[in-house]
């Protein structure tokens, strides 16, 4: 009855045998020629006596190494009892796996990469190796036999503490742009601990092709179905001639549709909503697993995007296609995406107008309760100075002398020009207008 861990060997011998075989030797065997190196027992041997047996524990041994334990008969050294044993590479103190294969393998697909996260369970490794196979039957004992390597042969991050989390990120990943795997197809990914020269002695003492050494642990495998991925990077600003100011808190909603129809796909992850950032940016990420996408690696999938925002009682107006088309509210815009088509650029303009209002009256006609006699039909033009003064918008005062002119947010009003039969005008003492007033979405 021999119990083996990565650093110890424990066994029991009946007292009747132990009394006859009193001398003990421990040799470490080196492959491939089986040369034995005798070790001193004084520091790593512990013996516990029981009524009918002795319990021996040999400690401070090297993981993955082969030892021979020999007992010599006390009165005849030519007679001996011996047995070979290989210490485990596994961090776990059990007899299920001696090779220290990785534990808790998780597979994550993101941004066109299949990546891995697992626990290091080996005391013999210096790196890890990965394989992929499309032969993913559950009853297959060694999937890696049919697998192909898809990344650098070894991922050198070994030597960590037991149960350390290994997260490969993209450094050791399956890059789908190159592997061109079919969307919706199931693959089996396997991870094993390795050492480029000598991983461990075969735990069963088996010689394969004259070699008792293993170059890696057993595999730990997990299935993964290739997901459909794409993304859109968008920005919402005022038009260039209005300063290209970013518009935040615009509600952006999106949904994927079936090609050539107005029917939503309706899958988990095919729709969503968000708000633009302070810089007017938004991002739409699709990472979906649905039967609809199977084999559709090169099929254009339409994504409809809608935009909406309210500033008080004002509903914002949005323009798409370089300011040519209205895409406000339910009109939206359609963007076509393929699998692994990332960061498709969309630039939307906010063309919302804010009312700029005022009134015109005749000077020195005011009296208590009235600002004075109002003047109708005065032409009012709001102007912005660029290389020269340019008109933003013009209109006329009404019968009550008031005017209200729509100005697109982001514009600057540098001057208010009034024209009425050659009359001269000046700002009243109650006016709060200043040259260079910016028109913002919340007013001015």
Strand partners, 385: 389
Task: Judge contact between 54 and 47, C-beta under 8 A.
Answer: yes
Q: pLDDT at position 198, please?
A: 82
Q: pLDDT at position 21, please?
A: 85
With H, G, I as helix, E, B as strand and everything else as coil, classify residue 346: strand
Environment class of 210 (CB within 10 Å of its CB; exposed 0-12, middle 13-18, buried 19+): exposed
| pTM to 2 decimal places | 0.80
DSSP E strands, 338-378 = 341-350, 353-359
CB atoms within 10 A of CB 246: 18
One digit per residue, the tens of pLDDT, for the chain of length 444 reads 788 899 999 999 998 888 888 888 888 876 655 566 676 776 788 888 888 899 999 999 999 988 888 888 877 877 888 888 899 999 987 778 899 999 999 999 999 999 999 999 999 988 899 999 885 554 454 555 556 777 776 676 655 688 889 998 998 899 999 999 999 999 999 999 998 778 888 877 655 555 577 888 999 999 999 999 999 999 999 988 878 889 999 999 999 999 888 899 999 999 999 999 999 999 999 999 999 999 999 999 999 999 999 888 889 999 999 989 999 989 999 999 999 999 999 999 999 888 899 999 988 888 877 778 899 999 999 998 865 667 788 999 999 999 999 888 888 899 899 999 999 998 888 888 888 888 887 777
User: 431: phi > 0 → left, psi -120 to 50 → alpha, else beta; which?
Assistant: beta
């Amino acid at each position: 009855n021999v119990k083996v861990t990565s650093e110890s060997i424990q066994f029991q011998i009946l007292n009747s045998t132990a009394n006859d075989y009193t001398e003990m030797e421990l040799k470490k065997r080196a492959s491939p020629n089986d040369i034995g190196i005798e070790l001193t027992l004084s520091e790593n041997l512990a013996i516990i006596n029981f009524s009918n047996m002795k319990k021996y524990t040999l400690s401070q041994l090297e993981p993955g190494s082969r030892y021979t334990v020999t007992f010599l008969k006390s009165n005849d050294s030519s007679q001996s009892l011996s047995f070979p044993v290989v210490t485990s590479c596994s961090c776990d103190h059990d007899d299920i796996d001696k090779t220290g294969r990785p534990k808790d393998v998780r597979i994550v697909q993101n941004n066109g990469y299949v990546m891995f996260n697992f626990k290091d369970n080996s005391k013999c490794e210096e790196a890890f190796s990965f394989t992929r196979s499309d032969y993913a039957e559950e009853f297959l004992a060694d999937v890696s036999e049919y697998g192909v390597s898809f990344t650098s042969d070894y991922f050198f991050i070994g030597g960590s503490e037991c149960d350390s989390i290994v997260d490969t990120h993209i450094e050791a990943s399956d890059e789908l742009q190159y592997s061109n795997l079919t969307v919706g197809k199931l693959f089996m990914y396997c991870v094993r601990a390795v050492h480029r020269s000598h991983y461990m002695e075969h735990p069963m003492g088996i010689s394969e092709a004259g070699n008792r050494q293993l170059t890696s642990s057993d595999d730990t495998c997990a299935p993964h179905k290739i997901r459909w991925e794409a993304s859109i990077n968008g920005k919402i600003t005022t038009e260039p001639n209005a300063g290209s100011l970013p518009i935040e808190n615009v509600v952006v909603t999106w949904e994927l549709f079936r090609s050539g129809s107005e029917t939503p796909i309706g899958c988990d992850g095919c729709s969503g909503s968000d708000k633009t950032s302070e810089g007017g940016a938004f991002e739409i990420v699709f990472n979906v697993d649905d039967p609809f996408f199977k084999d559709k690696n090169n099929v254009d999938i339409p994504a409809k995007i809608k935009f909406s925002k309210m500033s008080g009682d004002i509903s914002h107006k949005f323009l798409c296609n370089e300011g040519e088309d209205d895409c406000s509210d339910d009109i939206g815009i359609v963007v076509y995406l393929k699998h692994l088509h990332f960061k498709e650029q969309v630039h939307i303009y906010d063309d919302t107008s804010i009312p700029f209002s005022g009134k015109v009256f005749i000077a020195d006609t005011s009296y208590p309760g009235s600002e004075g006699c109002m003047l109708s039909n005065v032409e009012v033009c709001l102007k912005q100075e660029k290389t020269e003064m340019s008109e933003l918008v013009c209109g006329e005062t009404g019968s009550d002398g008031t005017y209200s002119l729509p100005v697109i947010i982001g514009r600057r009003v540098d001057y208010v020009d009034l024209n009425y039969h050659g009359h001269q005008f000046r700002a009243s003492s109650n006016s709060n207008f200043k040259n260079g007033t910016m028109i913002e979405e919340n007013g001015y």
